[in-house]
Amino acid sequence: MISSCVVSLLNKPSLFLNGSRRLHLLNKNAYINGQWVSAGSKAVFPVINPADDKVITEVPDMEAADAKAAVDAASSAFKTWKDTTAKERSYILRKWYDMCAKNTDHLAQIITAESGKPLAESKGEIVYGNSFLEWFADTARHINGEVIPSPWPNKTIMLTRQPLGVVSVITPWNFPFAMITRKVGALMAAGCTCVIKPAEDTPLTALAAAQLAEEAGVPKGVINVVTSSRKNAPAIGKVLCEDPNVGCISFTGSTHVGKILYGMASKGIKRVSLELGGNAPFIVFPSADIEHAAEHAMLAKFRNNGQACVGANRFLIHKDVFDTFVQAFKKRIAKGCIMGPGTKEGVTCGPLINTEQAKKVTGLVDDALSKGAKALIGGKPAVEIGSKFYESTILTDVKPEMKIYAEEIFGPVAVCHKFETEQEVVAIANSTRSGLGSYVFTKDLGQAFRMSRQLDFGMVAINDGILSAAEPAFGGIKESGIGREGSKHGVEEYTDIKYTLFSAL
Ligand code: NAD
């Protein structure tokens, strides 16, 4: 039997990875109003495999006019999508979830090809990202309103949640599937439509997800994908932030770009949902189970080769357990961090995403080493494997005058500092404009509660190195963002409260 998926593949380009493996769900066109289209200008840009620097394929390098066409399509689709029943939206989201689950291996191949992460991690991302579609398929049917006792006789106050309209979804490359589903699942559940602008490094995953959405029955115009190179991103961003038909800008990426988009959105008093950079502290107190902390340090630091917004960025270790912790951590890195292309069996650490990121990590470590920091393990690029590979590294003796002390590293480098008191570590942890994830390892329950209260971060994990899921509310404070994704609050980002007063005649 030929499935609809296979039929659609017959009409689409295919690619053989490493000379033998076919990359399914590969699309060379963008997706606007249910059509697979090229850029108005016909321009294209290459998508590179960071593991071997080879071109995977080319996709449309779209411009402002293409973005405008996508917003118009989403705006037109909104007129009918907003009036579908919650049950219909739930059903379609669930079908999209099923399609993605069925195609986990194909989607994972695409993620690995364009982002470099090991296949096992790519599969993990599909499971994680897909859990948002499943979650919001359920949530769609529980976007309830309120009836409030009136202060006036014979009157009724009703509050209902209305969809915001077209949502501009701008996403990064580090989780190219999950960063889309946790926004699009929520906004579709709320009754909104969207234009997705995926990161220039990873447009293929977004296009594959859109293909599966189409096959799941998502009506034309509800999801649109506009691809572009970095050069054209500002012009597209301007349309996606300023077009009057856009009701909300939902962005995940750097704080720098987040501020630019926030500025443009403010001109039209648009709603924003911003998931920005982090600078997570990973705190280990003397009472902690040190082996457990070291195990979770591996998850918090080396997942996606250190390229995660909630990745541990500063290891703050009590002086009494510093040596024990760093030795346990080093042992695990030596054994567990196996570099190579993500398609190779046993590889746990892929390349960095692109040349800029590789240069950034190299520059930060070189600067620290030149000013007296010590590399306990690693400390240099692994050019013998590929141009974007960097050794998994532990740095000690890092001082405030080194650039790496305060910056979000976004690479496989663990900077370990010593502290002496709880008060001191809280001050160090909070001394950043970022406030996304944080990690605390302690067996002292009172201390765990104190840390939860005192850490200025949107999320605090106690004795755990992984905190993301569809059920909790993911998000940051300070310059790490505005709004929450996942949980029942994820949908609220895409709705307005409407107040209706009924006066009995
Ligand atoms: P980035 O900000 O450089 O790019 C993100 C997206 O914005 C890309 O699609 C890019 O093309 C687009 N973009 C860039 N300039 C634009 C402009 N002027 N107008 C419109 N769009 C524009 O971020 P990145 O390098 O892709 O991702 C890494 C950053 O993302 C890190 O700082 C990381 O912490 C953050 N991040 C945050 C979360 C979170 O949930 N808080 C999750 C993942 C990544």
| Residues shown for the chain | 505
* pLDDT tens, residue by residue, 155-212: 999 999 999 999 999 999 999 999 999 999 999 999 999 999 999 999 999 999 999 9
As a whole number of angstroms, the distance between CA 401 and CA 470 comes to 39
pLDDT at 404 over 50: yes
Higher local confidence (pLDDT), 404 or 11: 404
- Go through 378-405 and write b for each residue having 16 or more CB atoms within 10 A of its CB, e for each that does not: bbebbeebbbbbbbbbbbbbbeeebebb
DSSP state of 122: H
ipTM of the complex: 0.95
348 lines ligand 1 (CB under 6 A): no
Taking residues 366-374, report their average pLDDT: 98
Q: Is the pLDDT of residue 16 over 80?
A: no
Please tell me if the CB atom of residue 408 comes closer than 6 angstroms to any atom of ligand 1: yes
Catalytic residue annotation: 275, 309
- What is the per-residue pLDDT for 23? 84
Burial class (CB in 10 A: 0-12, 13-18, 19+), 344: middle
Predicted confidence band of residue 22 (pLDDT cuts 50, 70, 90): low
Task: Verify whether ligand 1 is closer than 6 Å to residue 437 (CB atom).
Answer: no
The number of the ligand 1 atom at minimal distance from the alpha carbon of 261 is 19
Would the CB of 200 count as within 6 Å of ligand 1? yes
Question: How confident is the model over 268-314, as pLDDT tens digits?
Answer: 999 999 999 999 999 999 999 999 999 999 999 999 999 999 999 99
Query: Would you say residue 476 has pLDDT above 80?
Result: yes
- Given a cut of 60, is residue 435 above it in pLDDT? yes
Give the ligand 1 atom nearest the CA of 175: 43
Q: How far apart, in whole angstroms, are the C-alpha atoms of residue 401 and residue 366?
A: 13
Average pLDDT over residues 421-448: 98
**Distance from the CA of 306 to the center of ligand 1, in angstroms?**
16
Q: How far is the centre of ligand 1, averaged over its atoms, from the C-alpha of 91 (Å)?
A: 31
pLDDT bin (cut points 50, 70, 90) of residue 505 is confident
- Ligand 1 atom nearest residue 199's Cα: 9
Return the residue whose CA atom lies nearest to atom 43 of ligand 1: 309
182 lines ligand 1 (CB under 6 A): no
